[in-house]
């Protein structure tokens, strides 16, 4: 890869405050704590109901089944994966889910077992998959360039609000189990934006065949930050992007305006659904 002199790269405007600094970060922490307390209060009746129902079932099952139910009770009540994944179970649903969990766990002890796709961030993925990983990254970026998914923008042409709202790009690598090939996927870090309900459809290249609507008067346009080694890969592939590189905290960043729906953006599902 060709080098780039960091001393020649302009810096991001100082008036853009960090999205994680100062009062903003404290405010987010307080909001998370308040939401967690509220959800815990909602969960308490459910936990009590599950405990009561499972205690009733314990007397009518064998010792082996009772141990499985007790472990299921622990998993369901106290080891949920994130408050956002909270769900309300009826008693019979909880028992059924618990048995399913135990059956899945048992299959890991067999020779066949179960296969789950493991995704890796670009640094880990390139170390694991080597040249195949690099080819997957190149293919994904080339596809997005070919379809005009985004276009580079000078930082000075962005408003302070647009700069603050810009979310980072993230390249994920995974090995397709049945095809035995490495797949790269560039996603928009939508988890940093406002939460909303969305639907996804597994259609090849579905989202990036969907155009972003023009911003209405007074609305911000959508931007994405290309960071890390992806900056160098991108400018090697498309040299015209080189002049848009800026320095942020000593690291190279390229801002691009999003022209098509990209995986990870919360509005992508709705945009594709409307087009579909």
pLDDT for 44 equals 73
| Residue 249 within any structural domain of the chain | yes
- The range of the structural domain enclosing residue 210 comes to 117-275
Phi first, then psi, for residue 98 (nearest 5°) are -60, -45
Distance CA 259, CA 154 (A): 15
Bridge pairing between strands 223-227 and 251-258: antiparallel
Distance CA 253, CA 132 (A): 25
Same domain assignment for residues 212 and 151: yes
Measured CA to CA in angstroms, residue 139 lies from 60, 153, 194 at distances of: 58, 23, 30
Same domain assignment for residues 94 and 152: no
Distance CA 163, CA 172 (A): 24
* Domain end (from 107, 130, 151): 107
- The residue ranking higher by pLDDT, 66 or 239, is 239
Please report which confidence band the pLDDT of residue 7 belongs to, taking 50, 70 and 90 as the band edges. Answer: low
| Residue 53 within any structural domain of the chain | yes
Distance CA 253, CA 153 (A): 11
Cα Dmax for the chain: 75
Same domain assignment for residues 71 and 130: no
Same domain assignment for residues 65 and 185: no
pLDDT for 76 equals 46
Instruction: Flag the least confident range among 113-122, 124-133, 171-180.
Output: 113-122
The mean pLDDT value for 50-59 works out to: 61
- The residue ranking higher by pLDDT, 42 or 65, is 42
Same domain assignment for residues 221 and 265: yes
pLDDT averaged over every residue in the chain: 75
Please report which confidence band the pLDDT of residue 99 belongs to, taking 50, 70 and 90 as the band edges. Answer: confident
The mean pLDDT value for 176-201 works out to: 76
Distance CA 241, CA 145 (A): 11
Q: How many domains does the chain have?
A: 2
Distance CA 228, CA 249 (A): 12
């Amino acid at each position: 890869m060709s080098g780039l002199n960091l001393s020649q790269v302009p810096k991001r405007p100082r008036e853009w405050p960090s999205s994680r600094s100062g009062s903003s970060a404290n405010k987010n922490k307080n909001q998370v704590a308040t939401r967690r307390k509220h959800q815990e209060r909602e969960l308490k009746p459910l936990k009590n109901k599950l405990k009561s129902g499972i205690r009733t079932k314990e007397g009518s099952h064998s010792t082996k089944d009772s141990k499985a139910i007790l472990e299921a009770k622990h998993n369901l009540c106290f080891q949920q994966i994130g408050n956002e994944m909270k769900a309300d179970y009826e008693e019979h649903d909880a028992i059924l889910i618990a048995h399913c969990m135990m059956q899945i766990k048992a299959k890991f002890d067999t020779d066949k077992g179960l296969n789950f796709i493991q995704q890796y961030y670009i640094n880990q993925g390139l170390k694991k998959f080597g040249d195949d990983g690099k080819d997957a990254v190149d293919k994904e970026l080339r596809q997005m360039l070919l379809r005009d998914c985004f276009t580079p923008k000078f930082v000075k042409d962005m408003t302070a609000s647009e700069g603050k709202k810009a979310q980072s790009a993230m390249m994920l690598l995974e090995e397709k189990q049945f095809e035995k090939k490495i797949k790269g996927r560039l996603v928009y870090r939508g988890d940093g934006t406002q939460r909303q309900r969305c639907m996804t459809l597994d259609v090849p290249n579905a989202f990036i065949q969907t155009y972003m609507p023009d911003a209405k008067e007074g609305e911000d346009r959508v931007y994405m930050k290309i960071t890390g080694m992806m900056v160098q890969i991108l400018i090697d592939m498309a040299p015209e992007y080189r002049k848009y590189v800026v320095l942020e905290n000593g690291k190279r960043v390229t801002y691009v305006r999003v022209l098509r729906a990209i995986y990870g953006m919360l509005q992508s599902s709705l945009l594709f659904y409307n087009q579909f």
